[in-house]
Amino acid sequence: MSSKPARRPGELVFALLVLIFGLAAFWQAYEISGFSGLTTPGIFPMLAAGMMVIASLFILADTAQRNAPDVSRGSVPASFLREIMPLRHAIVIGLILLYLIALPLLGFVVSSGLFLLAAFQYLWRKNPLVTAVLAAGSLGAIYLVFRVVFQVVLPRGTWLGGLI
Amino acid sequence: MLEALGNFSIVWLDPWLLFLTAAGTLAGIYIGAIPGLSVTMATSILISFTFKWQVNEALALIAGVFMGGVYGGSRTAILLNIPGAPSAIATALEGYPLAKRGEAGEAIGLTTVMSVLGGFVGILALALFAPVISEFALLFNSRDYLLLGLIGILLVGTLSGESFAKGAFAGALGVLIGMVGLDPMTAEGRFTFGTITLMGGIPYVAAMIGFFGVAEALVQLHTLDLAAVKQRIDRIVPRLSDIKRYFGLAMRASGIGTIIGALPGTGGDIAALLAYDHAKRSTKNPERPFGEGCKEGLVAPEAANNAAVGGAFIPMLTLGIPGDAVTAVIIGALFIHGLKPGPLLLTETPHLFWFTVGSLTLANICLLIFGLTGIKVFTRIVECPKAILIPLIIVLSAVGTYAIQNNPVDIYWMLLFGVVGYFMKTYGFQVGPVILGVILGPMMDANYRRAMIGARGDIGTFLWDFVSHPISLILTIGFLTMLLSQTPIWSFTRARLRKQDA
């Protein structure tokens, strides 16, 4: 089908993963109560997972029919890394992961401060002093609005003795 | 009646609630206007912060954010040609050409007034029709709710995204996520893999924030370097003659908006596009052609998308079926507050209904005030670089998720959903149906089993019930038509019919 847009890099793999996930979900749903009755807890999960399997078969067929991604600017894995998961995304996701790990350990204030500092610095690329002021300012604003005005309990760090 | 009026005015008389609604509207305008921040994202983050509050406070704030957010998208559409929200896509088509002529201020003023008018039509419809519908909804059987849930997910799945299969997959995935945990009927574990962590289920706020907040932030990373354009603003309050001239069109567009908003699964974005189309068809001699700054094309979508807000509340408050993604999130909020949206909501907690109507009305008036003021400050804030915005969204998402149960596991779920959501969005899947599935899944499961038990576990009786009761029959026909319209048979038959005509 030439009228349809070409596949995005990695789309075929994603469609396959979607199918595998659907099948795994169906297997797990079957494990709940099997085909023992029509009102068992497992029947609706099985219907949903079955729907996923059928839909993903259609998606896979459709994706496979479309033209292969444009490889003039490098191989498929290379264009996947360029268009879908560039270094910037990988670094930001890595930063988020570090942030989430640090959150229960260092507490909201310290970990968010560090995350904002790192993320602003990486994405905005301005003078570190400007970044630091901005991170401190926005952190202060978030803290004021959510902790002081809305009385939300913010995570406290176990490492810092629950002080902040 | 007097009681209704009393509940209607709660929000007007309590200074704190008044402040919350006003603040929500103001915040909503900015959230809606900043590309990359969506109303859905904002409400899902907000809900985690407000769940410890009184219901009234949370509802007042959310009503404001919803009203303001739907309108706010139009401002960036006019000033920067970037629709701040999907509901402002049509607005950008006419608004930006006006801004290029230096008439941005006038365009903003006109959209504000028309949005407010549309908002009132939607609210009026909510106040008038919701009580009627909810009384009617009491006649609904469990299988009817199952059908309504299916239709809701199907509609969201078909109207958005690249293909029906992708929408259906997303909806089913959501249902599956909603199933995790102990089965409410038999207390058997489902998808728990024997761990205690999963027995309580996956908190849907984590799913909402992940799919709408983090995933969207990751998508926005691609357009980090897009520079903002500067704009000049002069005249803001619109001419009375203009308002008079477009009043009729605004009313018709509001009607469209209310109905589209009330249909489960369709919200302001579709309402706006349909109203734009209506304006295009019904305007014979526009002052300027469509696409070059035609005011008719600006008025219609803006009146319609705000009318859709009131409309979207109708199925949510009466049937427990969200009218769009934002109301899906609001349903989540009501559940957190121990309320059950559905036909009994109006009889069990009538004050809540009139309170909602009251706060929406108030939010609409706030919209008029804020919409016509503060545009200079506004342009500055909208120019905020995404490099600053994205980290802030992530911090808010993390804290928002953590705040639900003070459970660090939830934030890992949130991040996982965020990354999965990013890939889904990139490959043309919509995340809206996922959230709808998460929220409607357990309801559909329970209703399916109730209906099956009612049919004594006999599949023949079960299926016969779908066609032998009038309400079920209508819903079944609707469901099947929608399903068939997505298959090749439909286009084949249509092509044949057209051939016969010719």
Cβ-defined contact of B394 to A119 (cutoff 8 Å): yes
Instruction: Tell whether the model's pLDDT for residue B128 goes beyond 70.
Output: yes
Please say whether the beta carbons of B261 and B122 come within 8 A.
yes
Radius of gyration of chain A (CA): 24
Domain that holds residue B40: 2-454
The three-class DSSP label of residue B190 is: strand
Q: Which of A84-88, B1-5, B69-73, B241-245 is predicted least confidently?
A: B1-5
Lowest mean pLDDT across A10-19, B104-113, B300-309: B104-113
CA distance A128 to chain B (A): 14
In chain A, the residue whose alpha carbon lies closest to the alpha carbon of B409 is A100
Name the DSSP class of B202. Answer: -
SS3 label, residue B181: strand
Of B171, B339, B31, nearest to A22 by C-alpha is B171
Contacts with B291 (C-beta within 8 Å, 6 or more apart), sequence order: B93, B94, B97, B297
Looking at every residue in chain B, the average pLDDT score rounds to 81
Distance from the Cα of A39 to chain B's closest Cα (Å) equals: 5
| Chain A residues within an 8 Å CB radius of B483 | none
**In sequence order, what are the residues at sequence separation of 6 or more whose Cβ sits closer than 8 angstroms to the Cβ of residue B241?**
none
- Give the number of domains in chain B: 1
* Distance separating alpha carbons of residues A138 and A134, to the nearest angstrom: 6
Instruction: Give the minimum alpha-carbon distance from A97 to chain B in angstroms, rounded to a whole number.
Output: 8
The shortest C-alpha distance from B106 to chain A (Å) reads 33
Secondary structure (3-state) at B408: helix
Q: Which two tokens stand for residue A69?
A: 């991604």
Tokens of B368: 């008029």
What the block records as the tokens of B98 is 């006006």
What kind and span of H or E run contains A114? helix A87-124
pLDDT per residue as tens digits for the range B457-484: 888 888 888 888 888 898 898 888 878 8
DSSP code per residue over B95-163: HHHHHHTT-HHHHHHHHHHHHHHHHHHHHHHHHHHHHHHHHHHTT--HHHHHHHHHHHHHHHHHHSSS-
Q: Does residue B486 form part of some domain?
A: no
**Residue at B312 is within a domain:** yes
CB atoms A103 and B408 under 8 Å: yes
What's the Cα-to-Cα distance from B277 to each of B76, B244, B304, rounded to whole Å? Answer: 21, 21, 11
Q: How many angstroms away from the CA of B332 is the closest CA of chain A?
A: 19
User: Which CB contacts under 8 angstroms, 24+ apart, belong to B237-244?
Assistant: B237/B109, B237/B372, B238/B106, B238/B109, B238/B110, B238/B112, B238/B113, B242/B110, B242/B295, B243/B110, B243/B113, B243/B114
Instruction: Report whether pLDDT(B145) > 90.
Output: no
Name the phi and psi angles at B259, rounded to 5. Answer: -65, -45
Comparing alpha-carbon positions, the chain B residue that sits nearest to A15 is B427
The answer to whether the CB atoms of A153 and B224 lie below 8 A apart is: no
The two tokens of residue B240 are 């009375």
CA distance B7 to B5: 5
Q: Which pLDDT score, from 0 to 100, does residue B341 have?
A: 80
Q: In this structure, are residues A140 and B392 in contact, taking their beta carbons and an 8 Å threshold?
A: no
Report which of B213, B168, B162, B214 is spatially closest to residue B428, judged by C-alpha positions: B162
Best of A35, A39, A95 to disrupt the B interface (most B CBs within 10 Å) is: A39
**Is the residue at B209 inside a domain?**
yes
Query: How is residue B481 written in tokens?
Result: 């038509």
pLDDT at B460: 85
Among B169, B223, B402, which would you mutate to test the A interface (most chain A Cβ atoms within 10 Å of its Cβ)?
B169
Instruction: Give the burial class of B81: count Cβ atoms within 10 A of its Cβ; 0-12 exposed, 13-18 middle, 19 or more buried.
Output: middle
Mean pLDDT taken over chain A: 83
Cβ within 8 Å of residue B189, ≥6 positions away: B181, B182, B183, B198, B199
Look at residue B227 and tell me whether its pLDDT is greater than 60.
no
Specify if B473 maps to a domain.
no
* C-alpha distances out from residue B54 to B47, B238, B295, Å: 12, 39, 42
Out of A25, A37, A108, name the one closest to residue B176 (CB): A25
- Cβ neighbors of B218 (< 8 A, separation 6 or more) are A89, A92, A93, B418, B419, B422
Mark yes or no for CB contact A44/B185 under 8 Å: no
Task: Answer whether residue B430 is part of any domain.
Answer: yes
* Annotated domain spans of chain A: 11-84, 87-149
Dihedral sign for Cα atoms in the order B160, B165, B171, B177 = negative
- Cα separation, A47 vs B175, whole angstroms: 10
> Who among A41, A51, A112 is closest to B172 (CB)?
A51
Q: Quote the CA–CA distance of B171 and B438 in Å, as a whole number.
A: 8
Asked if A44's CB is within 8 angstroms of B445's CB, the reply is yes
Kind of pairing between the strands at B189-190 and B181-182: antiparallel
The first and second tokens of residue B124, run together, are 């009026």
Q: Is residue B495 part of a domain?
A: no
pLDDT level of residue A1 (50, 70, 90 thresholds): very low
Indicate yes or no: CB of B441 within 8 angstroms of CB of A48: yes
Q: Does the distance separating the beta carbons of B462 and A39 come in below 8 Å?
A: no
Of B89, B484, B478, B474, the residue nearest B272 (C-alpha)? B89
CB atoms within 10 A of CB B464: 12
Q: What is the mean pLDDT of residues A48-53?
A: 92
Which of A13, A101, A152 best tests the B interface by mutation, with the highest count of B CBs <10 A?
A152
**Mean pLDDT across B121-133:** 89
CA distances to A153, B38, B301, B414, B440 from B331, in Å: 23, 18, 26, 19, 10
| Cα–Cα distance measured from residue B87 to residue B307, given in angstroms and rounded to the nearest whole number | 12
Backbone torsions φ then ψ of A37, nearest 5 degrees:
-175, 170
Question: ipTM of the predicted structure?
Answer: 0.88
Of A18, A116, A120, the CB nearest to B169: A18
Secondary-structure percent of chain A, ordered helix, strand, coil, rounded to 5: 70, 0, 30
Q: Do A44 and B165 touch (CB under 8 A)?
A: no
Given a contact cutoff of 8 angstroms between Cβ atoms, the answer to whether B63 and B102 are in contact is: no
Confidence of residue A34 (pLDDT cuts 50, 70, 90): confident
- Read off the pLDDT of residues A64-118 as tens digits, 9 standing for 90 and up: 888 877 766 677 777 788 778 888 889 999 998 898 888 888 888 888 899 999 9
Q: Which of B19-28, B80-89, B285-294 has the lowest mean pLDDT?
A: B80-89
Distance from CA of A59 to the nearest CA of B (A): 6
Give SS3 for A163.
coil
The type of residue at B403 is A
